[in-house]
Structure 1
Amino acid sequence: MIDDILDRMTLEEQVSLLSGADFWTTVPVERLGVPKIKVTDGPNGARGAGSLVAGVNAACFPVAIALGATWNPQLVERMGVAIAGQAKSKGASVLLAPTVNIHRSGLNGRNFECYSEDPMLTAELAVAYIQGVQSQGIAATIKHFAGNESEIERQTMSSDIDERTLREIYLLPFERAVKKAGVMAVMSSYNRLNGIYTSEHPWLLTTVLREEWGFDGIVMSDWFGSHTTAATVNAGLDLEMPGPARDRGEKLVRAVRNGEVKPEAVRMAARRILTLLERVGAFEKAPDLSEHALDLPEDRALIRQLGAEGAVLLKNDGILPLQKAGLGHVAVIGPNAAEARVMGGGSAQIAAHYRISPLDGIREALSNANSIQYAAGCRNNRLVNVFSGEMRVEYFTGRNWSGSPIAVETADVGEFFWFDLPSAELDPSDFSARMTAFYVPAESGEHIFGMTNAGLAKLYVDGRLVVNGFDGWTRGDNYFGTANVEQRQSIHLVAGQRYEVVVEYCALGSTGEGINLTAVRFGVEKPLGDADMAEAVETARAADVALLFVGRDGQWDTEGLDLPNMRLPGRQEELIEKVAAVNANTVVVLQTGGPIEMPWLGRVKAVLQMWYPGQELGHAVADVLFGDVEPGGRLPQTFPKQLSDNSAMTGDETVYPGRDGHVRYAEGVFVGYRHHDTRGVEPLFPFGFGLGYTRFSWSNAKASAVQMGSEGLTVSVDITNIGDRRGSELVQLYVRPLAPTVERPDKELRAFAKVQLAPGETGTASLVLGPRDLSYFDEKTKAFRASAGRYELLAAANAADIRSNVTIELAKEWIGEASDRAI
């Protein structure tokens, strides 16, 4: 059928398939029965075609680092199945997920969107996610291919990575997704790889991806991430997104007729697009692109289970789990207590069905006689709290708010990110909007108004210009680098008085600087000060236990900018110190998208890392704190004692954050625990670390053979739950070459198994290894290579806790082939 369609297509029609129709859909060819399909952002939900901050509600699942902390591929596969259902509810056939870039620096703004610092753990979870999604007839899109481990100058930065490091660390998850999961789509990254944009990188897209790995799906650009016509097509980029065409269309037709692109290259790319449509069933039944909310009880239950499964108990001096019956006064404190920080920022955002805050979850769990008192203590938001309340939004043609509005609508949140405008008469590059609302402060005093805008905007309070985002506007660090730095101004407001707030916004039009977006966000808040800190301390002093919820939110952990450091923002460290000084039973619950420094660690009784676990946050937190379920998580990323202990933080700006458009991955394969173990840098918490509520005994590891053969071998460890609660234990298997012929990490994760056991129950962790698990990538022979000799297999609870080992031998050197599918 596909050959018949291609034979009947004109060159122009084939070319039309190679660009999007708009932001989210492909181009149909109606005369030949080729339908359009829709794609939707992931990876922790399916947003549909709505804006980043609005649209049809969707189920909000845990972010990727929280999934990495589960070390549970079976559960992640179930999530993939559920998210495929969410994608269908948004009329989408393609999900833009998973993200498998590696945790390199600890400061990447999208660290939360990625699974782990380890490529093997990343690969196993990505394969499970993809298999779940694609089992439901939805195509998964693995991203970002490749070398996108920072948000700094991400649209132009060259990630300079040697081939061994690429093959062993950064490409492995993509390789396994192709060979093991049969992923249907790959998204190229924004950055350059060794000087060449990945969207036009022949070695990456054709030599490695298609010829070596055998990938037969489509490669699409990240949004606005392609830059040329002939170079992208010739390199193997099939789909330019979003549409309408920028560098394809008539430009590509001319390139074919001028001999810059062979007609066969266009036909092959069009074939791959048509094959994708066939694989997702679009020819059998044209997709219904309409959207609706899908709020299923089984999704709610799965999100709650995943939240607890990924919760990592980092410290516990016997205080957890809390006994509900014995609790009297409970202090719930901190900026993340009453706010439900359920997801990170950027393109991963969705309009969640609901958000359960920790305070809500604890109140529900302690609904009997327990006394709960709340105090925020301080704030941790990067941007001023967004405006909340009913407002009138008027849209005008042109940029001067003149004439009658073309469209009028209402909104209840002061953030607008326009992919689509409410009327076809409005030109996205030449329109204006006026938002009118009223604000009634609860308290008198200084209030801060803040605004950031991709475009030009002014904010007025009772007719007075308060925030000027118009004059002197320049690009800054918001909305993927398309909006200015947030402009702030404080004014005195009187409690109970009604103030008119008006924001006038106009589009900037194309600037020729990469991505151009239209967005505005404005807010108001009364700053918290010493009195609020003192209130929190007094609340803690009077309580039997102080539950302190701190961390970051999606304004910090977000696409478009890296973190400034690895410390808790604002006055949160001071809050922890002061609360712990007056209450010996202080439990810190963290929500961050990656590691943080903990100078206060020795002063608190327990630390629980919850990440951003989705809409059931409060329920999952309460489940773990009160022992209804086990904290099942183990760290997917090393927590260093200080930022300078990270392998990328050498003090050389060419290594991080980059200089003159290049960032050197000078640490090579020594990323995360590979660096800490090999270089003798003691971490705060090692890779794979996590505590539970029960105890286990381990048998010594046993190998099924003393020699590694081509068929591989199995290592088994018997685990017995010797405690009085049901719980899980994670067995990690590392490989250590005893006489390496090249510099290699001290040990590398090659397999893992999570065992769930009732009290007194014994189970067996079976871990399978093959010859490639002993190998490194040899740049001279361009192949994975394992030298003959002895290897130690280490059964470990985490990278710093080796429980037993067994030595095996590889009798003769093993050399893999690029096309070898036994990975």
Structure 2
Amino acid sequence: MKHQELLTQMTLEEKAAILSGKTVWQTREVERLGIPAIFLSDGPHGIRKQAGTGDHLGLNASLPATCFPTAATIANSWNEELGEEIGRALGEEAASQRVNVLLGPGLNIKRSPLCGRNFEYFSEDPYLAGKMAASYIRGIQSQGIYACPKHFAVNSQELRRMAMNAVIDERTLREIYLTGFEIAVKEGNARSIMTSYNEINGVYANENKHLLHDILRKEWGFDGFVVTDWGASNDHAKGIAAGSNLEMPAPGLDSARELLKAIDEGNLTVGELDRCVDELLDAVLTLNKNMEGKPKYFNEKAHHDLARKAALESAVLLKNEDKILPLRSKTKVAIVGDFAVRPRYQGAGSSMVNPTFVESIEKVADQYDLQVIGVNEGYRRSGEKDEAMKKATLDLVINAEVVLYFFGLDEISESEGLDRTHMRIPQNQIELLEAIVQVNPNVVGIISAGSSVEMPWHYSLKAILHGYLNGQAGAGAILDILTGKVNPSGRLNETYPVKHEDTPAFRHYPSTERNSEYRESIFVGYRYYDTSKVRVQYPFGYGLSYTTFDYSDLEINEKEVKFTLTNSGTADGAEVAQLYVGLPNGKVFRPAKELKGFKKVFLRACESIRISIPFDDKTFRYWNVKTNQWEIEGGEYELMVGACVADIRLVGTIHRDGTTDDFPYSKKQMPLYYSGLIQKVEDGEFACLLGYSPASGKWSGDLDINDAICQMYYAKSPVARMIYNRLTAMKKKSEDRGKPDLNILFIYNMPFRAIAKMTGGAVSMDMVRGMVKVVNGHFFKGIKQIVAGYFTNSRLNRAYEKKLKGK
């Protein structure tokens, strides 16, 4: 123990209490021993410290901060140095606002394009996600602030996220959903980590010893502290025993009493409690010392300029027919689209930043060498049709040389607490686009969206520039690229499928009642499309430039691949060279290609450079569920270097000796996994993958404290069903308005137990059990338990507070 002396002086009550939050954002202090509190804040792409009453959904105002592009945007830069630079800026701003722990970055895998929170996550590929996350973490922590990568782990959906069980095999867990976190911990040296809401194979992430002890601490050597997502604690004592240190936000002293009871009953040892307290104390004392002498200001202009630089490097040019871009000097342009006037530059939810300043296309266009003949909103953001607005737009664009059309996903399409139900852009925006093309074919589309969309309308556009959600300085960045001041260098961090039905998890996403079955296994994103030869709109790693690049002279040795990259065009620009590895006809099923390295390089026109991409411990490994460890299958590996997964320029081979002949799978028993055609995996083959037949996730019988409030549809109590109907109506009303009500969404999807974990101690778990009795039709028994529980909880809270104050 690092802080044995302090631990010896702390009472058992103080130790139990300090492992839960005091307020929405602060931990508990122990004044008599001089143990201070720390402040945690959301901040994957900007600090969200609330000035007044705190809430975790971003409902109340927060202090102004730089809104950088979201993680899904920055991942398109494929630039670790940029990630580290953004991290340093985030760390500076956190310190200036006296935030000790920044809750981010988010690096869950984009299993499906429908996840409402994909805009917060880096990629469908764990290697790219991990490398970018590690860069952020290094930057943040260089300023004495702790980064907190999240959500650990297998958090892939928003629907019933707190009452959902991810059914997943160990190999897929390790190779796809944990590898990014492994890189973040080992290479970023993350000092804290946040557990996810969901269960993993029937065990909540926050009390999963396999996840938190065996893998995180023992295998990866993590020695920081673990914090729950807000309201993610299920059984606090089990969480402590597994190695989770801090329960947030503010569950009250009922949680502390839960730990004392567990110790009395032998379900938790004092040693386990002390270990968790010691790890948390180390963070608290270190972070408070780090804050000494930190300035209470930051350079707003410099950070705004960095936000623009980040947006510039992350925008992806998807199409450029007839070289319509860059725009010529004095081009007569019509600017159309609501997003040109009111930019969509970040997502909704707990990550929402109050920006220091926001640029819009309408306001900055006159700073460029263009003739802007007019700006028209064109469509209603809410999705309603407006014929008068449409006519005014058509009257404008007919006189333009080029139409700049700004469109994309609206706020209701991408939000914490809400998954998308389709991959389409709102129809009124597409109808306007198709009408514009009829009067002026020279249309350049600029998309705002945090995740992939279907593009059946792509033929209507001469060029497509995807800005993603590009932060407060995104407008200037977009115009810099459109006018050729900057050459686009973004490359897609995710695949753009032709249609939703083509996605690998289509038949099993988001979940069937409680269980979300990961039947697609390791075939996520390009691993599926590329292996199964499924046609896509735009492949992983893809992006155009205003210049061209040639690859030549591949050399392979035991440690690395080397090759020459040449800018063969007439403009200066940057290329992202990507290394993929495959093992044809292997005895263990695997994707045709997997990303194992990349390098972004800026070259002047006609310049060449020799590039080296080294191998690491992840280049040839796979997880063997039979030997229960990482292994290398012997054979001739293909090393493929190219501009994207579908544009391989150089191919070579290297032999690797195997580490075991004990292989885990039978091709005869698992034909679909060996073919990669995994959309229709049946029960038997999935059971072979798991090593067992999973229990049914169907809801039946009475509801319990871990069932979601939206499941009151099944309640035996008419009062509970009435509450469900009212909540559902409120949810639909907010969605119809086009602006998500985050509070309703959170309540709708949360389990009953969260009522006790998120009410500051006003509600105990015993009271929650009474509520569930009411829901299950035992009205009087339930009400009696709630009322008695209220008075008991109040009395016990007062008694505990006295002990904490030494009375």
Displacement of 1:253: 2.1
Residue pairs, 1:187-266, within 5 angstroms: 187-245=194-252, 248-266=255-273
Change over 3 Å in CA distance of 1:566–1:92 after alignment to 2: same
**How far, CA to CA, are the matches of 1:784 and 1:533 in structure 2?**
59
Q: Secondary structure at the match of 1:550?
A: strand
2:176 alignment counterpart: 169
**How far, CA to CA, are the matches of 1:284 and 1:197 in structure 2?**
33
1:550 alignment counterpart: 407
Does residue 698 of the first structure (1) align with residue 551 of the second (2)?
yes
**How far, CA to CA, are the matches of 1:607 and 1:145 in structure 2?**
35
Instruction: Give CA-to-partner distance per residue, 1:643-675, whole Å, 9 cap, x none.
Output: 11110113xxxx112112111011000000000
**How far, CA to CA, are the matches of 1:21 and 1:698 in structure 2?**
57
User: What TM-score results when the alignment is normalised by the length of structure 2?
Assistant: 0.79
Does residue 271 of the first structure (1) align with residue 272 of the second (2)?
no
Does residue 560 of the first structure (1) align with residue 561 of the second (2)?
no
Change over 3 Å in CA distance of 1:15–1:747 after alignment to 2: same
**How far, CA to CA, are the matches of 1:76 and 1:771 in structure 2?**
22
2:374 alignment counterpart: 373
Instruction: Give CA-to-partner distance per residue, 1:264-293, whole Å, 9 cap, x none.
Output: 11100000101112332x1476799xx977
1:297 alignment counterpart: 301
**How far, CA to CA, are the matches of 2:617 and 2:510 in structure 1?**
37
Per residue, is there more helix in 1 or in 2? Answer: 2
Instruction: Give CA-to-partner distance per residue, 1:391-411, whole Å, 9 cap, x none.
Output: xxxxxxxxxxxxxxxxxxxxx
**How far, CA to CA, are the matches of 2:447 and 2:149 in structure 1?**
29
Q: Secondary structure at the match of 2:226?
A: strand
User: What TM-score results when the alignment is normalised by the length of structure 1?
Assistant: 0.77
Does residue 576 of the first structure (1) align with residue 433 of the second (2)?
yes
Residue pairs, 1:668-687, within 5 angstroms: 668-687=521-540
Among candidates 605, 620, 639, match of residue 793 of structure 1: 639
Q: Conserved in 2, the CA contact under 8 Å of 1:313 and 1:692?
A: yes
Q: Secondary structure at the match of 1:336?
A: helix
> Which letter does structure 2 place at the counterpart of 1:737?
L
Does residue 783 of the first structure (1) align with residue 629 of the second (2)?
yes
Q: Secondary structure at the match of 1:669?
A: coil
2:335 alignment counterpart: 332
**How far, CA to CA, are the matches of 1:589 and 1:361 in structure 2?**
16
Q: Conserved in 2, the CA contact under 8 Å of 1:77 and 1:132?
A: yes
> Which letter does structure 1 place at the counterpart of 2:659?
E
1:656 alignment counterpart: 509
Among candidates 293, 311, 315, match of residue 311 of structure 1: 315
**How far, CA to CA, are the matches of 2:352 and 2:40 in structure 1?**
15
Displacement of 1:691: 0.1
Change over 3 Å in CA distance of 1:635–1:718 after alignment to 2: same
Q: Secondary structure at the match of 1:555?
A: helix
2:578 alignment counterpart: 732
Change over 3 Å in CA distance of 1:771–1:200 after alignment to 2: closer
2:604 alignment counterpart: 758
Among candidates 128, 132, 135, match of residue 135 of structure 2: 128
**How far, CA to CA, are the matches of 1:224 and 1:286 in structure 2?**
31
* Range that drifts further, 637-646 or 771-780: 771-780
**How far, CA to CA, are the matches of 2:352 and 2:606 in structure 1?**
43
Displacement of 1:739: 3.4
**How far, CA to CA, are the matches of 2:503 and 2:375 in structure 1?**
36
Q: Conserved in 1, the CA contact under 8 Å of 2:95 and 2:291?
A: no
> Which letter does structure 2 place at the counterpart of 1:609?
H
2:453 alignment counterpart: 596
Displacement of 1:324: 5.1
> Which letter does structure 1 place at the counterpart of 2:582?
R
Calculate the aligned-residue CA RMSD, in Å: 1.9
% identical aligned pairs: 38
> Which letter does structure 2 place at the counterpart of 1:626?
T
Change over 3 Å in CA distance of 1:559–1:166 after alignment to 2: same
Q: Secondary structure at the match of 2:339?
A: coil
**How far, CA to CA, are the matches of 2:153 and 2:163 in structure 1?**
13
Q: Conserved in 2, the CA contact under 8 Å of 1:24 and 1:49?
A: no
> Which letter does structure 2 place at the counterpart of 1:738?
P
Q: Conserved in 1, the CA contact under 8 Å of 2:98 and 2:291?
A: no
Does residue 744 of the first structure (1) align with residue 751 of the second (2)?
no
Residue pairs, 1:346-385, within 5 angstroms: 346-366=349-369, 370-381=371-382
Q: Conserved in 1, the CA contact under 8 Å of 2:35 and 2:285?
A: no
* Range that drifts further, 46-55 or 622-631: 46-55
Q: Secondary structure at the match of 1:807?
A: strand
Displacement of 1:776: 1.3
Among candidates 396, 412, 430, match of residue 539 of structure 1: 396
The number of aligned residues is 655
> Which letter does structure 1 place at the counterpart of 2:350?
S
**How far, CA to CA, are the matches of 1:133 and 1:161 in structure 2?**
32
Instruction: Give CA-to-partner distance per residue, 1:396-442, whole Å, 9 cap, x none.
Output: xxxxxxxxxxxxxxxxxxxxxxxxxxxxxxxxxxxxxxxxxxxxxxx
1:17 alignment counterpart: 18
2:484 alignment counterpart: 627
Per residue, is there more strand in 1 or in 2? Answer: 1
**How far, CA to CA, are the matches of 2:660 and 2:485 in structure 1?**
49
Q: Secondary structure at the match of 1:697?
A: strand
Change over 3 Å in CA distance of 1:336–1:284 after alignment to 2: closer
Q: Secondary structure at the match of 1:342?
A: coil
Q: Conserved in 2, the CA contact under 8 Å of 1:56 and 1:293?
A: no
Displacement of 1:7: 1.5
Change over 3 Å in CA distance of 1:261–1:27 after alignment to 2: same
Instruction: Give CA-to-partner distance per residue, 1:8-64, whole Å, 9 cap, x none.
Output: 111111122201110111111111111111011010101113462522111100000
2:501 alignment counterpart: 644
**How far, CA to CA, are the matches of 1:607 and 1:208 in structure 2?**
43
Residue pairs, 1:438-477, within 5 angstroms: none
2:157 alignment counterpart: 150
1:420 alignment counterpart: none
Structure 1, gaps ≥5 residues long: 383-526, 706-712, 817-823
Displacement of 1:199: 1.3
**How far, CA to CA, are the matches of 1:814 and 1:304 in structure 2?**
50
**How far, CA to CA, are the matches of 2:21 and 2:540 in structure 1?**
41
> Which letter does structure 1 place at the counterpart of 2:388?
A
Among candidates 552, 559, 569, match of residue 723 of structure 1: 569
> Which letter does structure 1 place at the counterpart of 2:24?
F
Does residue 43 of the first structure (1) align with residue 47 of the second (2)?
no
Residue pairs, 1:794-813, within 5 angstroms: 794-813=640-659
Displacement of 1:246: 5.7
2:740 alignment counterpart: none
Q: Secondary structure at the match of 1:214?
A: coil
Change over 3 Å in CA distance of 1:83–1:379 after alignment to 2: same
**How far, CA to CA, are the matches of 1:97 and 1:206 in structure 2?**
21
Q: Conserved in 2, the CA contact under 8 Å of 1:61 and 1:614?
A: yes
> Which letter does structure 2 place at the counterpart of 1:269?
C
**How far, CA to CA, are the matches of 1:86 and 1:284 in structure 2?**
14
**How far, CA to CA, are the matches of 2:267 and 2:629 in structure 1?**
33
Instruction: Give CA-to-partner distance per residue, 1:224-263, whole Å, 9 cap, x none.
Output: 1112232111122110001253652222223223322100
Does residue 184 of the first structure (1) align with residue 187 of the second (2)?
no
Instruction: Give CA-to-partner distance per residue, 1:440-463, whole Å, 9 cap, x none.
Output: xxxxxxxxxxxxxxxxxxxxxxxx
> Which letter does structure 1 place at the counterpart of 2:436?
V
Displacement of 1:815: 10
